[in-house]
Amino acid sequence: MGGGGGGDHLKERRAAMNTSSAAACQSKVRPAEPINRLTLLGHAHMKEALGRHSNMKYRNLGKSGLRVSCLGLGTWVTFGSQISDEMAESVMTLAFDSGVNLFDTAEVYASGRAEATLGKILKKKAWRRSSYVVTTKIYWGGQAETERGLSRKHVIEGLRGSLSRLQLDYVDIVFANRSDINAPMEEVVRAMTFVIDQGLAMYWGTSRWSAMEIMEAYSVARQFNLVPPVCEQAEYHYFQRDKVELHLPELYHKIGVGAMTWSPLACGLLTGKYNEGVPSSSRANIKGYDWLKQRLCTDEGKKQLSLIRELHLLAEKLNCTSAQLAIAWCLRSEGVSSVLLGVSNTDQLLENLGSIRVLSQLTPPLIAEMDAVLGNKPRIGKKEARS
């Protein structure tokens, strides 16, 4: 890892972090234990290794050569909005010192303030640019008709705007933040190839695209000798499984597209914080998240809360928290390169990082037990819903 300070300084920080982690998660956090250097469960095809100075694991992004931490830090809702810039810096510093090398944002997050906050922190910390990965997403820019979508104009201008806010010369990955029915696929792929050729990005990926759309982009790239996408960002948690478990693994094996997943805790639902109501400090009480509060009151929401309580008992047997079990469950899925975390403080981050130690406990019998509780294991042959 690249950061300020010498070896002794980093050792002191890591010692302090381990002490804080134990206090924050109490007895539920599993003690550190050796983790096999080879991949676990469904990851035999994905090269995986431990970080030199932490328990972090690193995986290839799809079948590209880019190595990313299996846990990344997202900035949706938090940076430039829910948390202060000081807390954002504390979270990023802890993440980086813990081996996280992937930071994700988007032009639309907090109307650009998330990118600006991330950029200010990166400039202040002065970590080597070669030691971390920054990803951003393009689609929703400004209010003008030409400031949104995936036209060549907005892909190029939108990315340049993101780079200005991030105070970076390039991003490692630029994502198309949804598909655009108004932009021909060839135009989108050519625009992404252009920003890569210009050195504004290293790779490009998709977000909320269907498997058919990703395959179309790949075919266009091959037909015209352009750059194909390397990754899809997809929602993935206990109650959102089909795309990541059925459709993306096929794309991984066929064309090398990996999965970077988000919302592993379903906006905090899987932590158990909503089991007894809606806490005042929770995301469900944030302006614009009324849908989450309403969801909890539906029959489906009540059923999900009941299942979460059952899985909480299983987490207790494993001596971990519900959040750690949920994140580890995401990490065990075939083709998942990295799981993006959304945290509002360092205690939450410490807890979530502990999921790596839980991963080795997710044996096939345990996964089968979880599937029996959830009752929603994807069926082969099930048609994909458009994202």
Active site residues per annotation: 109
Contact 259, 232 (CB under 8 A): yes
Tokens 């360092």 sit at which residue?
346
Question: Count H helices, E strands: the chain?
Answer: 14, 11
Q: For residues 217 and 255, give the distance between their C-alpha atoms in angstroms, rounded to a whole number.
A: 11
Q: For residues 73 and 101, give the distance between their C-alpha atoms in angstroms, rounded to a whole number.
A: 8
CA distances from 131 to 5, 61, 95, 99, 290 (A): 15, 15, 13, 10, 39
Contact 158, 183 (CB under 8 A): no
Q: For residues 344 and 60, give the distance between their C-alpha atoms in angstroms, rounded to a whole number.
A: 27
Nearest to 204 by CA among 135, 145, 116: 135
Tokens 């950029």 sit at which residue?
119
Contact 101, 69 (CB under 8 A): yes
Burial class (CB in 10 A: 0-12, 13-18, 19+), 332: buried
Burial class (CB in 10 A: 0-12, 13-18, 19+), 173: buried
Contact 64, 230 (CB under 8 A): yes
Q: For residues 250 and 331, give the distance between their C-alpha atoms in angstroms, rounded to a whole number.
A: 17
DSSP-based three-state secondary structure for 342: coil
Angle of the 346-353 helix axis to the 322-331 helix axis, nearest 10? 50
Q: For residues 299 and 291, give the distance between their C-alpha atoms in angstroms, rounded to a whole number.
A: 14
Beta bridge partners of 340: 72
Q: For residues 278 and 26, give the distance between their C-alpha atoms in angstroms, rounded to a whole number.
A: 24
The amino acid occupying position 61 is L
